[in-house]
Amino acid sequence: MPNLNEKQLQELKEQLEKEAGELEAQMGSVKKTPEFGSDVESDLSEEADEAEEFSNNLGTKDVLKERLRDIEAALDKIIKGGYGKCEKCGMDIESEILKVNPESRLCKMCKAGK
């Protein structure tokens, strides 16, 4: 964990766990198909950040599932090691990115697409 100290890592872990819990709760509420004619909450789209814009054509649940998978992968890496490395180029992911998007798999350069 070259660019992250123990304390930062712990904070990111807590952030990820909290986010995972929220996503699971959201998925639980998405699962139930709303009764016809009932009020439908449509604030889920606010959760999607720019990194997920490309997947807007997927169902909300798929987006949530995808996000949850990234978070779980990140948590797994925090525990087993290798967290904070770009999956594409192997460089350390900038801590500013991890702060905003702790489940990020790519560094700034790769995220920008080259």
Residue 93 CB, nearest approach to Zn ion (Å) = 7
* CA separation for the pair 71, 21 (Å, rounded): 10
- Comparing CB distances to Zn ion, the nearer of 44 and 110 is 110
* CA separation for the pair 39, 57 (Å, rounded): 23
- Comparing CB distances to Zn ion, the nearer of 64 and 102 is 102
C-beta contacts of 40-46 below 8 A and 24+ residues apart? none
Under 8 Å between Cβ of 74 and 56: no
- Residues in contact with Zn ion, counted by CB under 5 A, come to a total of 5
Q: Which helix (H) or strand (E) holds 18?
A: helix 6-31
Residue 44 interacting with Zn ion (CB under 5 A): no
Residue 89 CB, nearest approach to Zn ion (Å) = 3
Query: What mask, x for binding Zn ion by CB under 5 A, covers residues 69 to 108?
Result: -----------------x-xx-----------------x-
